[in-house]
Amino acid sequence: MSIEVLRSLVWADYRLAILFAVILPLGLLLWAVIQNAEPIVRLLIIYWRVSSLLAITVYLLVAQMPVGFLTGLATLMFIPVGLWFWIDLNEEIADRPGPLQLAFTSWRWGITLYCALAAIGQVMFINCAFVAGAIATPSCQVWLEAPLLFQQIFHANAKVSTLGFLASGALIVYVCYLAYFVFFRLSKQGRSATGL
């Protein structure tokens, strides 16, 4: 695959990520809050907790840290799990038919499909995380273009090393919280988001 074709696909991936992972869930959260749809609000809060790894990934890639390729792939797996795992919320959402429920369910299926396709695409570049010096290759550098543009727009005066340090700290906090959830809370509450 030529670099130009790859660049087009990668930028399309970033644009779809902004649409499916930021704009649509933000709009749905606002709508759900206005409609007082508590199960959807609760699931969207879970979604934002899980998908915060996307933001961490962007900053890791700004700092050109290879672990960013792993966290990006992990996020694409965590998001669908976080959206479909909770039996109680799934039942409550199904019991509330209407335009909001339809829009939310459509988005949930859409982002699940997006995550699956994006994960397949990113698996082909996982060597950017594991092979020494691979991050400097043109195919890996293409994945860094959008994060670097983000840095130029929003953090033009910030040091890349500082952003990388903060992203590393955020990743450590995320991993600790995930470990706490998996080893302690999950055993108590099972697939119930409310823990009842």
Residue 36 lies in a domain: yes
pTM of the model: 0.93
The residue type at 129 = A
68, 164 contact by CB (below 8 A):
no
Residue 97 lies in a domain: yes
Report whether pLDDT(10) > 90. Answer: yes
Q: What's residue 177's pLDDT?
A: 96
Domain that holds residue 27: 3-189
Mean pLDDT, range 51-72, rounded to an integer: 97
pLDDT tens column, 96-142: 899 999 999 999 999 999 999 999 999 999 999 999 899 999 999 99
Total structural domains within the chain? 1
Q: Please provide the distance, in angstroms rounded to a whole number, between the alpha carbons at the two ends of the chain.
A: 51
Residue 19 lies in a domain: yes
Report whether pLDDT(196) > 90. Answer: no
Q: What's residue 1's pLDDT?
A: 76
pLDDT tens column, 14-28: 999 999 999 999 999
Strand (E) positions, 5-66? none
DSSP state of 126: T
Residue 117 lies in a domain: yes
Residue 72 lies in a domain: yes
Residue 194 lies in a domain: no
Residue 171 lies in a domain: yes
Residue 67 lies in a domain: yes
Report whether pLDDT(195) > 80. Answer: no
d(CA 47, CA 120): 21
